[in-house]
Structures are given as structure tokens and as C-alpha cells.
Amino acid sequence: MARAGLTVDRIVQAAAELADEVGLDNVTLSALARGFGVKDASLYSHVRNLADLRTRLCVQAAREMTDRIGAAVAGRAGKDALLAFADAFRGYALEHPGRYAAGQLQVDPAVAAESVGHRRSIELTYGMLRAYGLREPDLTDAGRLLRSTFHGYADLETRTGFSHPRRLDDSWRRSLEALHFLLENWPRTTQPEPRGTRDPRPGRAAAPAVGCGAADGGHRAEGGGCGAEHIEHIRDEEQTGE
């Protein structure tokens, strides 16, 4: 019987696969129920509504993306880490467009704070950027630039927004070379960071969830974006010396 063994994990995985196939906007509980051969009501025993399902998709996307990025950057630093990070980010977005779109949704900060993927996106981005010798507020500024570049490129590529015949891979590689040059020659500032950006827990950065529009510790992540991100991060006490 199709409904036998129906679980939250199975429903979310089916939704993720459907999102990649037909687009996130076309994922509905009715469509999922048809795929499982059950009535819509059978799904409500596992997910509250479509918003709940989308939240779970965002969390899954964060975990999957940071797993990929983490594996790619392991043992790397500087330019090698930047290239590996960027390629893993772009690769996930292109291979899983529906899940990636889900990763740009906003979720409740409390949910994001408990998401391993969201927290890891901070750690990975931060670990990559501090190899360039940056400190706040330059770390945040650089993180925003990288996130904007990676997301913008991947989003346009998935929407076939580039029409020039030049190979996209060539432009991508040149863009990363330019970003590496910029990070190595970043115009340092001495401006102190705003109050409220620091997590009160020892050794922890503020805003433990960058993706999905999470907010915490007085700092709001902008626009959403699970996983690298979700690419925005907050200060490291090691870098500031405080």
C-alpha cells in the first residue's frame, strides 16, 4: 500500500525531487499526494501545511549544500578554497534548481538557528575568508560581495539569462580570478562594527543562521539563501583579538 511507510523524510525528499523537476512553485501537497497514491489528508499527519514543507525543504537544502561545499574546501585555503567553494555552490544550484530556490526562502530564525546547514554555512564562509587576513567590518562586506556574485551568477545561469556566445565556464573562471585578486587587495577599514553583532556565548559568532533570512543577536541576514548563503558571516574573536 502506497501510504505504508510514509514519513516526513520521504515526503520532503519527494518534494525536493519534484522541485528540481518542475520548479519550486509547482510543488504542492496535492501533487505530492498523487505521487504517493494517497489523499491529501494523509500528508497532513506528517507536515502541517505547504509553508511547513517549504521550511523543511530550505533546511534540507542548507544541509546538502554545505555538505558539498565542506567536502570541496576540506584541506584548502586561499585561492584554492575560494575556487572550490564557488564551484560547489554553483554546481549545487545548477544540479538542483528547485532545492536551491527553496534555499532562498525565509524561515523563522528559531528554525534556522537549529539547522546544522545554516550554522555550517557561517563556519565555511568565515573559514575561507579569514585566510585572506580580513577582519570586521571587511569580513561582512566581503561575504556579501561573494554571496551576491555566486547567487547572481547561478540564478542567471539557471534562468538562461546569459545570451552572449562566450562560454559561461570561461566567464565564471575569470570572475573567480577577479574575486581572488580583490580579496588579496581588499581596502581595509578601521571602522568598528556596530553593537549587537556579537553572540553572547563564548567563541560563537552572531547570527547562527545566515540563510533563509534568519536573524539573531541583533544582526539580520539579508534576503535568505541557505548554505553559504548564504554567504554572509559575522566576526570572529580570533581576528579582532577581543
Cell of 201: 556565548
Please say if the pLDDT value at position 223 is more than 80: no
1: Cβ contacts below 8 Å, ≥ 6 apart: none
Is residue 236 within 8 Å of 125, Cβ to Cβ? no
pLDDT at 95: 97
pLDDT of 202? 36
Greater pLDDT, 55 or 227: 55
Whether residue 137 is preceded by a cis peptide bond, meaning omega within 30 degrees of 0, is yes
Q: What's the pLDDT score for residue 229?
A: 37
Average pLDDT, the chain: 81
pLDDT (mean) for 108-129: 91
Residue 227 has pLDDT above 60, yes or no: no
Q: Please name the residue ranges forming H helices in 96-115.
A: 97-102, 109-113
| Residue 221: pLDDT over 90 | no
Which amino acid type is present at position 154?
A
Query: For the stretch 211-242, what's the b/e string if a residue is b when 16 or more beta carbons lie within 10 angstroms of its beta carbon?
Result: bbbbbbbebebebbbbbbbbbbbbbbeebeee
The pLDDT score that the predictor gives to residue 51 is 95
For the residues 76-86, what does the mean pLDDT come to?
A: 97
Instruction: Write the CA distances from 239 to 59, 86, 188, 198, integer angstroms.
Output: 29, 23, 13, 13
pLDDT above 60 for 157? yes
What percentage of the chain exceeds 70 in pLDDT?
Answer: 76
* CA–CA dist 146, 82 (Å, integer): 10
Q: What pLDDT band is residue 34 in, cutting at 50, 70 and 90?
A: very high
8 — pLDDT class (breaks 50, 70, 90): very high
CB 63 within 8 A of CB 117: yes
Indicate left, alpha or beta for 86 from its phi (over 0: left) and psi (-120 to 50: alpha).
Answer: alpha
| 87's grid cell | 564551484
Q: Tell me the pLDDT band of 191, cut-offs 50, 70 and 90.
A: low
DSSP state of 24: G
CA pair distance 17, 27, nearest whole angstrom? 10
User: In the beta sheet, which residues pair with residue 205?
Assistant: 198
Is the pLDDT assigned to residue 148 strictly greater than 60? yes
- The pTM of this model reads 0.78
